[in-house]
Amino acid sequence: MRFLILWLCCLSLSAFGAPVPAGDAELTADLNGVSLKLFTYRPSQCAPKSFLLVFHGVSRNAQGYRDHAKPIADGLCAIAIAPYFDKAHFPGYKYQRGGLTSSDSKQWTGPVIEQLVAWLRTQEKQPDWPYSMIGHSGGGQFLSRFAASTPNHAQKIVLANPGSYLFPSLDAHIPDGFGGMPDAEQALKRYLAAPLVLLLGDADIEQDAELPKGYMQQGSNRHERGLNFYQAGQKIAAERHWDFSWRLLEVPGVAHNARKMFASPQALQAFRP
């Protein structure tokens, strides 16, 4: 009988979810046939009431990114969740480019994130908890495409030192712009009104060897591409009299370094109103 009770208890936890453990942990989220390994961190000095989703770069070091994000999670009193996008299931076109190599939205990766948020809320039994997002380098590239293509309720979407962007242009074709995207003009309008924060290291001026040459049209280095991206959004919003909600923050003296970017005071500032 004791073993039956234990089995029923475990079944209950599996069926209804269990909170993200305190401190560091590893979990697996099964999302409609997609299995995501999660590296998590729950602050112990406060009672979290939100999620911070952290997106790794092309190194796919999700655990390291979870660790880099701890100062932000502590400052916000949020549970940090760093999903691991393995290369076999999420090659570059599915991760950095967000699956936007096709105009078929069923091929896009963004909806997986909305499913992950729903899964996390179920685990915590908190259906209304808010969430914010930060991605560095390749993770920032992904969040640019996510913000452009996937309606969402993120409080903040922070792009830290991306190598490229989905540019605010109706002429450039996806995954570089809005050409070929369903309801492209409305998607662009929503993009410009998104709570997007551009977090740039002002010393991030080295060439990106892994970036397709076509992205050099956005600027000669990451810092320049980020400034051009922000200014282009600002310009088209003004021309069309649309809302423009983006913010630009620069981290002095920091190059392409996720740990230093996340530890900067500007990173925490990015999540403030």
DSSP state of 228: H
The residue ranges of every structural domain in the chain are: 20-206+213-269
Nearest to 164 by CA among 111, 124, 223: 223
pLDDT for 215 equals 65
Each residue of 135-193: pLDDT tens digit? 999 999 999 999 999 999 999 999 999 999 999 999 999 999 999 999 999 999 999 99
What are the backbone angles phi and psi of residue 53, rounded to the nearest 5°?
A: -90, 130
What dotted CATH number matches 20-206+213-269?
A: 3.40.50.1820
User: Once rounded to an integer, what is the mean pLDDT over residues 34-51?
Assistant: 96
pLDDT for 219 equals 86
> What is the C-alpha separation between 60 and 51, in angstroms, rounded?
20
Each residue of 54-84: pLDDT tens digit? 999 999 999 999 999 999 999 999 999 999 9
When mean pLDDT is compared across 9-13, 18-22, 72-76, 128-132, the lowest value belongs to: 9-13
pLDDT for 19 equals 95
pLDDT for 1 equals 45
- DSSP H or E segment with residue 57: none
pLDDT for 11 equals 36
> Percent of the chain, pLDDT > 70?
90
